[in-house]
Structure 1
Amino acid sequence: MSTTLGAQRPVHTQEFRLRAWLRTPTVAVPGLAGLLAAVITALGSWIPSLWGDEAASALSAQRSLPSFLHEIVHVDAVHAVYYAGLHLWVSVFGASAFALRLPSAIATGVMVAGVVLLARFFVSSWRLPLIAAAFAVGLPRLNFAGIEARSYAWTAAFATWILVCAVATLRGRVSAHVGWAGFALLAGVGTALNPYVGSLILVTGCLAALSAGERRAHLRRWAWASLVALALASPVILLAVLERHQVAFLAHRPEPAETWVVKQWFHDPLMAIIGWALLVAAAVVIAVRRDARLDLGLGVVALLWVVPASAFLIGTIPTLHHYAPRYLTLTAPGVALLMALAVDAIFRSWKPAGVAALVLVLGAAVPAYLAQRGPNAENASDWAEVSQVVAAHALPGDQVAFDTVVRPSRRPQSAWRLYPRDFRNVSVPQLVTPYWQRKTWSDELMTIEDAAAQHRFTAPTVFAVESDFASTGVVDVNGIPALESAGYHVVEHWKLHSDEVYKLDREGTPPR
């Protein structure tokens, strides 16, 4: 009897200690901050129409395993890990706009919890960590990533927790074996999720070189852990290199300075002015503050997080052409930390000014938050509206025709796949090859003109969806005339945000 009780007591003691640790502010506050961040981010995420890149996510995630493998060995290997995770998600929760975007909101919560914990490593007060959390939620780049069915919110989450794990290890908060093993796993999966996350491996190496104490041991363990991480990610890295032609179009899409000054993190000029002012102030604070106890100061961590990757991608725009604002989402939590450092310094100098600065930043972030939840906020897409028009007016046996002239990310045919219930009454006679039989993510459709020439339009009523993106300079001038030559005439017309829907009846069809 005594032996049994003696064996059980340590278990109860461990359980009690675990429950007590979980209730400590060190765990509870980051957890609650992350939960609140996820909820705030998810609000209104279902409102914007899904757009082309999200169509790639949704359709890739809904393929069978053989079809999925066929796709990623030809295109989008860089997103293979995200698509695989999303496949499991949609098999349980479905593929509505809200369901597709919710994982990104969850990633924002995971990121914010990590930001709070990382900041807490360096300060005894909760003020700086919570300011950083508020800025991470409000920063437009992170907010946008949090309501988009793409992997970028998860790149920010992985980047944050890679640094949490590395700093905790370097500062002796966890054992070296556990810490570097965790780092290797996070860095490996994160780099497989998106190769740019691999920049955090170099950041961690710099931190190991700057650390006090067992510097050589830290560097040796970092090197081994980094090799393990790169080995884990190597299949995706290799395929991504082989498929680098996918982003060749960036060479023909020059980015003005406004893109990386304003749109990269801040969305609009007012937020950019405030944000850059705080970043400069943070650099000054980091330069003038001296604290021997902070061998790995939070400011140094944040600067290394933000500057090298940003400088490399922006600096190589003329040669490598691998820059897009979303690619640097993984640096945005570091931007939030730097801004928080500046505002915290204002708080320490004069609390009312600190409150004013905090309110100013969060107030300036509100317009972007609201704009990103407008019906056409995602790349000006209006596919939800297109689908609603078809659903409201189409009858069983009708057909739909799609403009195929514009580039794939703007082709309105994606509305058919993203909102399938709204197209249940219509067929698509232009279909040549469905997406799951192709090596790319989209269906192969012939032009309206070719389908009409082959007499594929036979229904009493056809709904033609024509893209109307003024900025593209490309207009399908033959779609409607081709249908009219096939014996149809326009009886109704809806001009939406970026597309136009025409209802055409065959000559002699009685009014409905």
Structure 2
Amino acid sequence: MINRPMNKGKNKKTAAVAVPVIPVVAMLVIGCWGLDRGGMWRDEAATFQVARRTVPQIWRLLHEVDAVHGLYYLLMRPVLALHPGEVLLRLPSVLAAAATAGLVALLGARLARPRVGLWAGLLYAINPMVGHYAQEGRSYALVAAGAAGATLLLVRALGGRSWTPYAVVVAVTCLLHEFAVLLLLAHALTLVLARVPRRVWAAWLCAAGAVALVILPLVLVSHAQSAQVSWLRPPGQGGVNRLVHRFAGSTDEVLVPCLLLMYVALRRPWPSRDGHEPSLASVALPLLLVPPAVLMTVSQWSPLYDDRYVLYALAGAPLLAAFGADRLARAVPRLPRAAVTVAGLLAVAVVCAHQLPLLRQDRSVAQRGGDNLAAASAIAARELRPGDPVLFLPAIGRRSALAYPKGFHDTRDVALAESARTSGTLYGVEVGPAALRRQLAGLDHVWLVAEPYALRPTWSPGSATDRVKRAVVEEEFEPRREFSDSGVTLRLYERRAGAAPRQERGAPRLQRSVSPPGPPRPERR
């Protein structure tokens, strides 16, 4: 008789530990699966090369470009100092995604019951969109972890805890990416739905004001760098549909049941376990809807929206789906609790198995922006010789050499005047048009490393130096060999007959099959 209460307490403690730990482990397994893909894409390459600079060099860069990712670069610097490679580049995102899965589980357990938290955390972990950004060397998975942590701290603050940790976590999250500030609007709606008293509003407004003061300098600097997102377009109905599928279910077989469960979760009343805390629906629904809706609306006039910028809002979907499933289970009388929990876990396993092909496909380099800088460097290593002159068209094509310099070792970058590190830029400073013409005049051959769109006749170079690159190779040189793979074209040009002795000894022109170049793909930040 005495042991029963003790065993009951132990069981509760075990359940409290298992609820967040199981989703964390699941996310770690999914995140580490295929983590080393053997190639970085362009945004990851930016992280890789910037985070290995000195702090003054990073600070100088942020005054010109990428201020929105400044804190992330600084955080990644000691990580890549351990061993510069693709696994460590992506490992912080994996760990952040695992932490988010655990935090979602804790939210569900606190606002509903342990099995709701367990189901929600696992649903978050197996979501293909989560898995995608868990394996990307950018800040979005870290932002999602910060948002989930801030939401849990909001719930605790409403239960009587200090608001200081909440303000600190929100501020850091917004410094990782300024669009996380929309989290404050979601939390404000939570306060409205929870009908909190004035004193709570006063405390929250103080915390929100402190966050605004912290991120104001970042907002001002990044606004001056808004040309970096000039590639964005106003989202339409297609963008909304895509986000719904990415958040709630990549296929109709997953999407429809998930939406039905969310509908059940949103039916009134919205009970809470503690009168001092908000209900699960009043927390999850604003988190799910407010950031995407606000950013999409603003983007109709000033395009700023991309799915990755609102990844942190996804956490609301599994919370609502799990809560809806729990409501259905409780509507059936006399169901054993353990059986209900196991049935929910089996349902999650079925969803995971159904989405397994998508998760496997996402481990391919081809799913990451359409380019593989490692493959481009491998071609260069095979074809280029020490001392060979190289032109990058446009200048951003230099990213393959910056991310994987081994393939371009001992080659001569004809147009480069100052390296990316010393100039405080992403891709270096190039010589002027006149100087480039003089340098090209003394060459009998040159290798062109080009983005596919840069070879299209309709493409208009943005800089005078890039215009000279294309004009000179077209007018004074002729192509001899060409290699195209993973979004980068490598082409050998030799001076036309009579312009250089080596032209007479050149090999006959060799045509290789190449994929048709796609449309321009500006830098994504």
For 1:208 and 1:277, how far apart are their aligned partners in 2?
A: 29
Q: Sort the Cα spacing of 1:90 and 1:130 in 2 relative to 1 into closer, same or farther, 3 A.
A: same
- Please state whether the residue corresponding to 2:489 is helix, strand or coil: strand
One of 124, 137, 159 as aligned partner of 2:113:
124
Amino acid in the other structure paired with 1:190: T
What is aligned with 2:177? Answer: 194
- Please state whether the residue corresponding to 2:154 is helix, strand or coil: helix
2:468 aligned with 1:468, yes or no?
no
Question: 1:355 Cα shift?
Answer: 6.5
2:48 aligned with 1:65, yes or no?
no
2:118 aligned with 1:134, yes or no?
no
What is aligned with 2:220? Answer: 238
Note the 1:106-505 alignment, pairs <5 A: 106-126=95-115, 128-172=116-160, 176-177=161-162, 180-211=163-194, 215-250=197-232, 253-263=233-243, 266=246, 270-271=250-251, 274-275=254-255, 278-291=258-271, 293=273, 295=275, 296-345=278-327, 357-404=347-394, 411-438=396-423, 440-445=425-430, 451=436, 454-455=439-440, 458=443, 462-469=446-453, 474=459, 482-483=472-473, 490=480, 492-503=481-492
For 1:165 and 1:149, how far apart are their aligned partners in 2?
A: 27
Question: 1:417 Cα shift?
Answer: 0.3
TM-score, normalised via structure 2 length: 0.78
1:314–1:323 CA contact under 8 A, matched in 2 = yes
- Please state whether the residue corresponding to 1:376 is helix, strand or coil: helix
Question: 1:450 Cα shift?
Answer: 8.0
Question: 1:475 Cα shift?
Answer: 8.7
What is aligned with 2:503? Answer: 507
Question: 1:483 Cα shift?
Answer: 5.0
Question: 1:435 Cα shift?
Answer: 1.8
Question: 1:503 Cα shift?
Answer: 4.6
For 1:429 and 1:484, how far apart are their aligned partners in 2?
A: 17
1:409-463 deviation per Cα after TM superposition (whole angstroms, max 9, x unaligned): xx4321000112232242322213322344542223469998466337758x754
Q: Sort the Cα spacing of 1:264 and 1:245 in 2 relative to 1 into closer, same or farther, 3 A.
A: farther
Q: Sort the Cα spacing of 1:445 and 1:321 in 2 relative to 1 into closer, same or farther, 3 A.
A: same
Amino acid in the other structure paired with 1:166: L
For 2:60 and 2:27, how far apart are their aligned partners in 1?
A: 37
2:23–2:102 CA contact under 8 A, matched in 1 = yes
- Please state whether the residue corresponding to 2:426 is helix, strand or coil: coil
For 1:149 and 1:164, how far apart are their aligned partners in 2?
A: 25
Q: Sort the Cα spacing of 1:478 and 1:200 in 2 relative to 1 into closer, same or farther, 3 A.
A: closer
1:48–1:377 CA contact under 8 A, matched in 2 = no
1:203–1:304 CA contact under 8 A, matched in 2 = yes
Q: Sort the Cα spacing of 1:26 and 1:85 in 2 relative to 1 into closer, same or farther, 3 A.
A: same
1:39-84 deviation per Cα after TM superposition (whole angstroms, max 9, x unaligned): 4213223216322322332233233333322222232222111111
Q: Sort the Cα spacing of 1:471 and 1:373 in 2 relative to 1 into closer, same or farther, 3 A.
A: farther
Question: 1:112 Cα shift?
Answer: 1.0
Q: Sort the Cα spacing of 1:125 and 1:509 in 2 relative to 1 into closer, same or farther, 3 A.
A: same
For 2:403 and 2:203, how far apart are their aligned partners in 1?
A: 46
- Please state whether the residue corresponding to 2:182 is helix, strand or coil: helix
1:79-122 deviation per Cα after TM superposition (whole angstroms, max 9, x unaligned): 1111111122222232x222222211111111111111111102
What is aligned with 1:15? Answer: none
One of 34, 42, 47 as aligned partner of 2:37:
47
1:300-328 deviation per Cα after TM superposition (whole angstroms, max 9, x unaligned): 21101111112111223221322111111
For 1:197 and 1:139, how far apart are their aligned partners in 2?
A: 20
For 2:197 and 2:248, how far apart are their aligned partners in 1?
A: 43
1:403–1:447 CA contact under 8 A, matched in 2 = no
- Root-mean-square deviation (Å): 3.7
Amino acid in the other structure paired with 1:308: V
1:352-387 deviation per Cα after TM superposition (whole angstroms, max 9, x unaligned): 985775345323432332222112221101221111
Q: Sort the Cα spacing of 1:401 and 1:354 in 2 relative to 1 into closer, same or farther, 3 A.
A: same
1:182-222 deviation per Cα after TM superposition (whole angstroms, max 9, x unaligned): 1011011111222222222233334345547x733322222
For 1:432 and 1:240, how far apart are their aligned partners in 2?
A: 27
Q: Sort the Cα spacing of 1:153 and 1:425 in 2 relative to 1 into closer, same or farther, 3 A.
A: same
Q: Sort the Cα spacing of 1:113 and 1:281 in 2 relative to 1 into closer, same or farther, 3 A.
A: closer
Amino acid in the other structure paired with 2:158: L
What is aligned with 1:84? Answer: 74
Amino acid in the other structure paired with 1:73: H
- Identical aligned residues as a percent: 22
- Please state whether the residue corresponding to 1:455 is helix, strand or coil: helix
Amino acid in the other structure paired with 1:155: V
What is aligned with 1:5? Answer: none
2:16–2:114 CA contact under 8 A, matched in 1 = no
Amino acid in the other structure paired with 1:189: V
Q: Sort the Cα spacing of 1:277 and 1:482 in 2 relative to 1 into closer, same or farther, 3 A.
A: farther
For 1:165 and 1:267, how far apart are their aligned partners in 2?
A: 23
2:166–2:207 CA contact under 8 A, matched in 1 = yes
For 1:37 and 1:183, how far apart are their aligned partners in 2?
A: 25
Amino acid in the other structure paired with 2:98: G
For 1:487 and 1:475, how far apart are their aligned partners in 2?
A: 20
Amino acid in the other structure paired with 1:76: D
Q: Sort the Cα spacing of 1:496 and 1:263 in 2 relative to 1 into closer, same or farther, 3 A.
A: farther
Structure 1 residues 23-32 or 445-454, which shifts more?
A: 445-454
Q: Sort the Cα spacing of 1:483 and 1:198 in 2 relative to 1 into closer, same or farther, 3 A.
A: closer
2:391–2:446 CA contact under 8 A, matched in 1 = yes
For 2:266 and 2:372, how far apart are their aligned partners in 1?
A: 45
For 2:238 and 2:454, how far apart are their aligned partners in 1?
A: 21
